[in-house]
Amino acid sequence: MSVSGEWSHPAMFASNSTASAQAQIGRCSGGTRRPHASIMPPPHPTVSGLGSKAVRLTKMFGESRQGHPSHFSISDTVGMMPIPSSLDTPYPPDYHPPKENMDLDMELASVATLKEEIFGDFIEEPPYGIGWWAPGPGTKRRILIADQLYCCVRSMEENMMEAALHWLEHENASERESWQSVIIDQDGKPRPEPLPPNCARDLHAATLVRMHYCGIIRALASALDCLGGVIIGVASLRCSILKADFKVVRKFLGQIAGESDGTIRQVEFAKVLESGICSSGPSGWLDWTLDFRNMLVHRGRRLEYGHIVPVPPFRGFNGRRVALLPRDPGRSDVEVLVAAPHRLLLTEDARLTLRSLIASTKSLLETTAAGLLELWCWRRSNPSALPQLAEQWKNGPSIESTGFTGYAPDTVAVEPGSRKTAHPVTLCRFNAAAVFDPVRELWQTFD
């Protein structure tokens, strides 16, 4: 495993993991394995000649043409009257849309390869779950942990797509808010003065901006917590996989020590993780993201700040509102103002911060997934060196229920899932979990 790494601006947004992921899967897929349904559909052909907004979609979080990060200045993103969301831009005639994650520049090759490898190890008959884990950690826990592991690696992709979609809507909402709240005075300088709203979207422009930056941060932090779950499952850590917390997982990894082959592999992976964090963004970016999520979701929110900056005239629009995010979101406004008022805010456009956070998280997921893939393949070849732990699902299957049945129960007819209607991937998951009749009765006999 390569463990050296330091954040470098020019390489920050590059995503060159496809070849390495293919090399990994070619190296670790030897031997006879159960045929399974593919979860990676064939790629669509590349289409050239797209409009400017389509190009903006495909270059959003990737490498720029000059090989430098896709940083942007204020003048790159403002100067227009409100425009429809890029998501509403019609595709050109005869255009074949790519995969969703490719269209949003969220293709995670190493993550997808890791997901394919884990999925390929599901066994749809005894011993169920991940076959090479047997007999540990007991059949019930083997099924529960294996299925949650797959859900976590899949959810990493889904959360990153949600972050990219929130970014597009945040960009549109920010432009609308600037247009709605900035006017040019008699001296030709922009100043804040809200215009009468033409519609509810104008009236709630600031709230829409806030909603989408909250969505970006929530999605990124969720992707990181799901990464924590994948680390628990792949590296076989003594932590709960159902309630994985990335900070807890990172701390746990840092405390591992020992001389066994399995422990040495865990320590090597811990170095890969720390290297990936350092090389994916400037110092503190990861803790800032998680602290900002905790503030937005669990605590009273910090004050919002912004100021008006002039931009080159374009379509009669000479200024825009620049939002500034808190520098230390884990502290309250008063705490920061008392200790160091000059450190209250980040001194960069919030749009730059948010876009760069997406790129940093994407980079970390890919780097870490490559290290996890190597560890997973090693464990498959050495199943006794690092056994799966029952503590990952400490109390066994839960039978607790909130008792909530909805606000109007039984108003929609719901038929239980069946083999006939299930997606091939879902069918494999649930066969490997022994949840279909008649084998579901076997749960009463599982250890």
Task: Tell me, letter by letter, the H, E, C secondary structure of 88-102.
Answer: HCCCCCCCCCCCHHH
Strand 129-130 to 182-184 pairing? unpaired
- What's residue 114's pLDDT? 98
Q: Are 136 and 47 in contact (CB under 8 A)?
A: no
Residue 436, in any domain of the structure: no
Dump pLDDT digits (tens) for 117-145.
999 999 999 999 999 999 999 999 999 99
Residue 435, in any domain of the structure: no
- What's residue 180's pLDDT? 72
Residue 364, in any domain of the structure: yes
- Cβ neighbours of 161 (radius 10 Å): 18
Residue 401, in any domain of the structure: no
Residue 419, in any domain of the structure: no
Q: CB-side exposure of 194: number of CA atoms within 13 Å?
A: 9
Domain range holding 177? 9-31+52-87+100-396
| Residue stretches of the chain with pLDDT short of 70 | 1-86, 99-102, 182-186, 188-190, 311-319, 416-420
- What's residue 275's pLDDT? 97
- What's residue 77's pLDDT? 35
Dump pLDDT digits (tens) for 367-382.
999 999 999 999 999 9
Residue 128, in any domain of the structure: yes
Residue 39, in any domain of the structure: no
Residue 168, in any domain of the structure: yes
pTM of this structure: 0.82
63 DSSP 8-state letter: B
Among positive and negative, which fits the CA dihedral 72, 74, 79, 81?
positive
Q: For the chain, what is the domain count? A: 1
- What's residue 166's pLDDT? 95
- What's residue 413's pLDDT? 83
